[in-house]
Amino acid sequence: MDHTAARPAPDGPVTVGVGPVGRDEVLRVARYGAAVELAAESVTAMAVSHARIRELAADPKPVYGVSTGFGALATRHIPPELRTRLQRSLIRSHAAGSGPEVEPEVVRALMLLRLSTLATGRTGVRPELARAYADLLAAGLTPVVYEYGSLGCSGDLAPLAHVALAVMGEGRVRTADGEILDAADALARHGLGPVVLGEKEGLALINGTDGMLGQLVLALADLEHLLRLADVAAAMSVEGQLGTDRVFAADLQALRPHPGQAAAAANMRRLLADSAIVASHRGADCARVQDAYSLRCAPQVAGAARDTLAHARTVAERELASAVDNPVVTLDGRVESNGNFHGAPVAYVLDFLAIAAADVASMSERRTDRFLDVARNHGLPAFLADDPGVDSGHMIAQYTQAAIVSELKRLANPASTDSIPSSAMQEDHVSMGWAAARKLRRSVDGLTRVLAIEILTAARGIDLRAPLSPAPATAAVIAALRESVPGPGADRYLAPEIAAAVRLAATGALVAAAESITGPLD
């Protein structure tokens, strides 16, 4: 799913220093192809910690990752003449991914985040290694990474190893225009050379949560947009189904002071302002006491999702400020083993967001279904068809929604509750955070499609309420949709219309149309 048009393109390179990169910087590099440069302070910090690694490499006392094997093989002392081979072998053996190719934006995100950790000076690598990552990003060369190979602990091992392999001049990369090349040829074409890894450097390149964190940052950006879109869709359904906006009043929402709920309700009030359709049944003669839950409780569900997103954002900010490696070079020069590579904090919120996405989509599908049922749609034709019986209208569009929602419910099953021991029981509890991230990306895609179909259906329902006019904000959304999708009429080939609505939903065009009237939505 391409969400790129929903946010502005980058201007200028992103500078990586000893401090954390921000979420916006991750998006600029990962999604929009911004280049990267190293701050002078990070070069100094890396040089200092690398000197400490060189001291330890000369010490006869074994140091994990410097002069020993890895994982369950950490008991073997490696002599100096084999250490370059040790690091090279580590990357080659760990580049064991399989399955479909991972999206370039995910790979660029994990590259930037690994570079950010290297730049802290806490990993002990040479500045030249960090520059090699920055050069790869600047050249638009994206290593080919595969779906399977990370358990979310000891780092996103296989994905990160495939990136490190490319820096060594091995494996394959994609160019900025999508061409796949052998890494050695791609480096040469851009005037770059392969890196020969020294003590600890191979380990430092693969021992992080960068893959799952990068996908969390991308998902946060997409879900922030999609929750505004969910408010737009819900407002259109309330309007098209002759619902009331009184339940969204600020004083009623304040009785339950969840901030996300307040924001969602405020959005819906603004979206429904000055709606002639809503005003048409606001009088004392209206016999309806209250709307169905999928209409009345929309702010409570979308609001809970917002609050979940806020928690996930906090976790992401903490993780972005982390230097994840094992062992790590401390500020006072010690080299210490630790467990900071365990992905549990990130894995939990990735799973939590998949739950929220499934529930928002589930409510959206229920609102769509109400439009199509003559027993519940308050005077609209069956399935919004032009000639019900001859035409089927949006009957099967709801089937498509239902199929996606069912998939989202399966994807809401948490990955982080699973663990498979590995490395001869040395790594006996893992987070499965990478798996949680991969399924969240599918959840984001599914939620986009479900909301797009609701808006497509709601627009048709609102059009059928003519001559009553919708709110200016929802009218603007319908006008944006009508540039690509015709209004009500006899049955047409529906898949292209759904695809057009999905594209407008993903790129932010529908939210932008609403915001042209309301101003920025919360």
Active site residues: 64
* Residue 190 exposure: Cα atoms within 13 Å on the Cβ side: 24
- Give the separation between CA 40 and CA 470, rounded to whole angstroms: 57
- Give the separation between CA 48 and CA 479, rounded to whole angstroms: 60
- Give the separation between CA 271 and CA 209, rounded to whole angstroms: 40
What single string gives the DSSP state of each residue in 87-117? HHHHHHHH---EEEEPPHHHHHHHHHHHHHH
- Give the separation between CA 106 and CA 316, rounded to whole angstroms: 15
Sequence-distant (6+) residues with CB within 8 A of 449 are: 400, 401, 404, 498, 502, 505
Query: Residues 162, 196, 119, CA angle at the centre, nearest 5°?
Result: 70
Question: If you ran DSSP here, which 8-state letter would residue 69 be given?
Answer: -
Sequence-distant (6+) residues with CB within 8 A of 446 are: 357, 361, 404, 405, 407, 408, 411
Query: Residues 382, 384, 389, CA angle at the centre, nearest 5°?
Result: 50
3-state secondary structure of 176: coil
Helix, strand, coil abundance in the chain, percent, nearest 5 = 55, 5, 35
The answer to whether 209 and 291 are in contact (CB under 8 A) is: no
The closest of 418, 449, 436 to 354, measured between CA atoms, is 436
Cis peptide before 327 (omega within 30 of 0): yes
- Give the separation between CA 296 and CA 448, rounded to whole angstroms: 22
Query: Residues 349, 14, 203, CA angle at the centre, nearest 5°?
Result: 60
Question: If you ran DSSP here, which 8-state letter would residue 194 be given?
Answer: P
| Burial of 184 (C-beta count, 10 Å sphere; 0-12/13-18/19+) | middle
Sign of torsion over alpha carbons 401, 436, 503, 260: positive
| Cβ neighbours, 10 Å, residue 5 | 14
